Amino acid sequence: MTSKLETPELLSPFQMADLNLKNRVVLAPLTRGRAGAERMPNELMAEYYAQRASAGLLISEATVVSEQGNGWVNSPGIYSEEQGEAWKKVTAAVHAKGAPIFLQLWHCGRASHSDFHAGQPAVAPSAVRLNGEYIHTPLGKKDYEIPRALAADEIPAIVEDYRQAARRAREAGFDGVEVHGANGYLIDQFLQSRTNQRTDRYGGSVENRLRFLKEILAAVTEVWPAQRVGVRISPNGNFNDMGSADYRETFSQVARELAPLGLAYLHVVDGLAFGFHELGEPMTLSEFRRVFPGPIMGSCGYTQQTAEEALQRKDADLIAFGRPYISNPDLVERFSHGWPLAPEADMAVWFSSGKEGYTDFELYKNG
Residues 272-292 have pLDDT tens digits of 998 999 999 999 999 999 999
Q: Any alpha helices (H) in 186-271, and if so which ranges?
A: 186-191, 206-220, 247-258
Say if CB 299 and CB 28 are below 8 A apart: yes
Quick one: DSSP state of residue 199?
Answer: -
DSSP symbol at 5: P
Determine the Cα–Cα distance for residues 342 and 329; give it in Å rounded to an integer: 10
* pLDDT-based confidence at residue 7 (cuts at 50, 70, 90): low
d(CA 51, CA 327): 11
Q: Is the pLDDT of residue 263 over 80?
A: yes
For residues 150 and 295, what is the distance between their CA atoms, to the nearest angstrom? 33
The candidate with the shortest Cα–Cα distance to 252, out of 191, 314, 320, is: 191
Q: Rounded to 5 degrees, what angle do the CA atoms 337, 342, 347 make? A: 145
- What distances in angstroms separate CA 56 from CA 122, 177, 195, 291, 306, one per listed residue? 36, 15, 35, 25, 18
Cα Rg of the chain (Å, integer): 19
- Taking residues 246-268, what's their average pLDDT? 98
348 CB-side CA count, 13 A: 1
d(CA 240, CA 23): 32
3-class state of residue 252 by DSSP: helix
**DSSP string covering 143-180, please?**
---PPEEPPGGGHHHHHHHHHHHHHHHHHTT-SEEEEE
Q: What is the pLDDT of residue 346?
A: 81
DSSP 3-state assignment of 68? helix
CA–CA gap between residue 43 and residue 48 (Å, rounded): 9
Does residue 352 register a pLDDT over 80? no
pLDDT in tens, 87-107: 999 999 999 999 999 999 999
State how far the alpha carbon of 17 is from the alpha carbons of 14, 263, 265, 294, 297, in Å: 9, 9, 10, 10, 14
pLDDT confidence band for 188 (50 / 70 / 90)? very high
- For the segment 240-265, the average pLDDT, to the nearest whole number, is 98
**What is the structure's pLDDT at 317?**
98
Q: What is the mean pLDDT of residues 51-74?
A: 98
**Bridging pattern class, strands 296-299 and 318-321:** parallel
CA distance 270 to 276: 10
Domain boundaries, the chain: 9-349
Of the listed ranges 14-23, 262-271, 346-355, the least confidently predicted one is: 346-355
> In whole angstroms, what is the distance from residue 72 CA to residue 80 CA?
17
Is the CB of residue 183 less than 8 Å from the CB of residue 110?
no
* Residue type (1 letter), 336: S
Establish whether 134 is a catalytic residue: no
CATH topology for the 9-349 domain: TIM Barrel (3.20.20)
From the candidates 49, 79, 162, 185, which is the catalytic residue? 185
Q: Which of 237, 37, 63 is nearest to 162 (CA)?
A: 63
Within 13 Å, how many C-alpha atoms sit on residue 267's CB side? Answer: 27
3-class DSSP state of 84: helix
Phi-psi region of 173 (alpha: psi -120 to 50; beta: other; left: phi over 0): left
The overall average pLDDT reported for the chain is: 96
Question: pLDDT band at 5, cuts 50/70/90?
Answer: very low
